[in-house]
Structure 1
């Protein structure tokens, strides 16, 4: 499979994505790649990375789905894309981004390493949420057929652990900007932000913060996710002060009066 696949470049396969249906309400895989290119290049600009490299990586990100190797072994998607991109002479950052835009694939998995890979990884996940929320396919109960909870957690981990100073609301808005060409996609930015903050709530509780501590932060609907760890530690430290209980009670009373 490998030798056969290498006879065609990844770039030469992109056009065939126009015959691959992504979703009946969202068009073909090629149309989705156009949206991903738009979004990834803008995130790259926000990060100070080369938008042309992010655009190139986004264009090639799913091309390996059409290779014989990935057709036979779907779990190798991204990995084979990187190998084929390297063979084709693509820039190293582009090849790395093709593999790493899927990261993190599961809890505790590695995160994309460079700004280009991070741009495409964030773009792919944010776009999926904008697309699916926009057509009414938000997760419900135990059902999450498009793995949006995993995508949401990936966005949060990349922003937090890689300390990326990107405000969440503009990222969500740009993701919906990318769907402007798709009829029927509603701009439900607040729903996506709330969804992400609820994922953040679960994550912070798993990190050992109390419900009150998490509520104290999330009541402010934080936009800079990279600052959350420092903010949570500040809240935890405040909670240990002898004055904390009295101040919290006074604040609650004031809040009740102002309602």
Structure 2
């Protein structure tokens, strides 16, 4: 198994989804409702354990952000896993609140780490620009933008942001954390229902990155900024007051990608390394 797994433990991969509306984000907080807190409490209850088993997640989502394809892992004692493996999903379904579902709970392959072994995270951000507003049945998952959007202009602007860059201009800085990321995909499509969806995929994301990118590109789509403006903001390397962090409810984590099982351990080691751009001084990991 992986080097950070204690002897006598089994690493269990959890695939899950949740509606983020009533959560203060993923990470456990002492006085607020969080996704991690609910799942860890449920695990402790259904396994009849006296201790809490900590979850490691692929991507920590902020307050109000949804997930359809989130992945986490938990290390359980071998005897606990052996006793509860066959019944764990059903028992979690009965214990968890209805805005969280765990769809799979399986022993992870050797070298698996939900966070460090991931090679990409894919998000969708959904926007409605109909003059009448958003369908009330979709209002919890779609942002209303009260200007008509030019999807072609938004895609033109998005192309200038792809690749490996320092995304400091689009991230909320955290002490000791790098803002270098590889943006693998960023494209906009208008569906038959009129909803405009951004697909955003990167090896990882820094804090507020997707919502800031969407905010900048909406300004292009509604004609307030030219298509080359988001790339100029990126190149400047500093936060621009014109870039708004859009509301979280339009954002959903759709998928987390992992390499073949034989490459999991190597990917986990690589992701822990310090990351820099070519010719730049060393930066901090992750």
Query: Is TM > 0.5 for Structure 1 vs Structure 2?
Result: no
Higher relative contact order (CA 8 A, sep 6+): 2
